[in-house]
Amino acid sequence: MSEADACPFSNRDDRKSAALAEAEARPDAGFAPIVNFDFARDVMRSPAMVQGMEADYFKDKEPSKVPVIFLDGELHKKRRAQLARYFTPKAIKDRHRKVMDQTTDEVMAQLRRTGRGQLDVMSLRLACDVAAEIVGLTNTDPDAMSNRLRKKFTASGKRKRPGLAGKLGALEDVVRTLWFFKRDVVPAIRHRQKHDRDDVISFLVREGYSDQEILVECMTYATAGMITTREFIVMCAWHLLEKEDLRRQFLEGGEDVQFAILDEVLRIDPVAAYVYRKAEADMTATDGRVVKAGEQFLVDIRNINLDEEATGACPFAIDPERSKRQKMPSNWMSFADGPHRCPGAQVAMHETRVFLDALLRVPGIRLARKPTMGWIEEINGYELHGAIVECDPSR
């Protein structure tokens, strides 16, 4: 019997972003795609591999002032160790959970008052508040900052438009980035120059980063941590609001069941479609394959997460039992692996769970309008905007 015959879900395909990714994803040329889970893991974990994403902007910059995602080797290891304190289970439990609960309560209270809410605006507010607390962007009104960042990322999407529209989009992007810098980043830096705190900006101030270098770090977190989580929350909400059985399972299950459902959504609809790696030295994978120094890889997260040898039967169907049954990591390749593996993975999982648990318990909650899908190059992934939820307004 083939794997497909063994599928208990009649070969169901639950993916929502596959067709969009197929049409829109434009990975750089010259990188060999990896779609096999085991080989991907070997590559990602190998000390012979370095980040393959190039950023001309940082080429002439002092290495110690480059954002963590572009670093490698000892400097990267040291930076990750310095940042680890903000992402431990204890930090999530003692610090970030408070922000998650408080913002979720505020956002849901607003939804119940008005009977209507735009999902991506609601989810960005939560993603911003949580990442802002880690980064130290806490000296301005959070709702206004979330709006400024939303407009900034909408503007950067306009850069791709042809002709004059693209030029105007690029200009608007610069202006909105400077506005975010002036209104949110500078006040946070000035405050921390006088009062040291336990967050990323305080650390950068102590390390002697300039205002501009701190802005670059903030933009890294805004992209890597805020936009990604905004999309993840909306994608999960979309699946759960549409699938009654899955929603019931989520609401009746404990935290383990809830996380397993979120992990499955992220497996079939991963927010980041791919990352790049380059070999600096030769390496031999566990299956004996030899990689030569200089080889470049496109780590195709979308397809790696569907590798039937790892997932078992029915790779396109949401099956919360899957990772346990297959003895696979619960996050699959969705947050990458190895030294650059997303440090914010558990933060993102927790905030998404907290938000959805509250949203799905709102009386009369329903999806009034599905999201419109787009593609964002900053995260190499999908963007879901304009989804509207409605509920029975509170009296």
Interface residues toward ligand HEM, by CB under 6 A: 51, 53, 68-69, 80, 131, 134, 221, 224-225, 228-229, 232, 271-272, 275, 334-336, 340, 342-344, 347-348
**In degrees rounded to 5, what are phi and psi of residue 239?**
-60, -45
Q: Is the Cβ of residue 68 or residue 122 nearer to ligand HEM in the bound state? A: 68
Q: Is the Cβ of residue 50 or residue 313 nearer to ligand HEM in the bound state? A: 50
Q: Is the Cβ of residue 112 or residue 267 nearer to ligand HEM in the bound state? A: 267
Minimum distance of ligand HEM from residue 120's CB (angstroms): 14
Q: Is the Cβ of residue 103 or residue 334 nearer to ligand HEM in the bound state? A: 334
Token pair of 338, please? 């190895």
Minimum distance of ligand HEM from residue 365's CB (angstroms): 22
Q: Give the whole-angstrom CA distance, residue 115 versus residue 112.
A: 5
DSSP per-residue letters across 292-337: -TT-EEEEEHHHHTT-HHHH-S-TTS--TTHHHHHT--TTTTTT--
Q: Is the Cβ of residue 40 or residue 365 nearer to ligand HEM in the bound state? A: 40
Tell me how far CA of residue 77 lies from CA of 71, 162, 316, 339, in angstroms: 9, 41, 36, 8
In the DSSP assignment, the letter for residue 368 is E
Which residue's Cβ lies closest to ligand HEM?
344
Helices (H), 88-160: 89-91, 97-114, 119-135, 142-158
Q: Is the Cβ of residue 270 or residue 320 nearer to ligand HEM in the bound state? A: 270
Tell me how far CA of residue 249 lies from CA of 163, 241, 259, 319, in angstroms: 49, 12, 11, 11
Minimum distance of ligand HEM from residue 166's CB (angstroms): 26
Q: Give the whole-angstrom CA distance, residue 373 versus residue 15.
A: 13
Q: Is the Cβ of residue 111 or residue 236 nearer to ligand HEM in the bound state? A: 236
Q: Taking Cα atoms as reference points, which of 93, 101, 99, 146 lies closest to residue 358?
A: 101
Minimum distance of ligand HEM from residue 68's CB (angstroms): 5
Look up tokens 């648990």; give the residue: 357
Minimum distance of ligand HEM from residue 353's CB (angstroms): 12
Minimum distance of ligand HEM from residue 174's CB (angstroms): 23
Token pair of 313, please? 């039967």
Minimum distance of ligand HEM from residue 2's CB (angstroms): 31
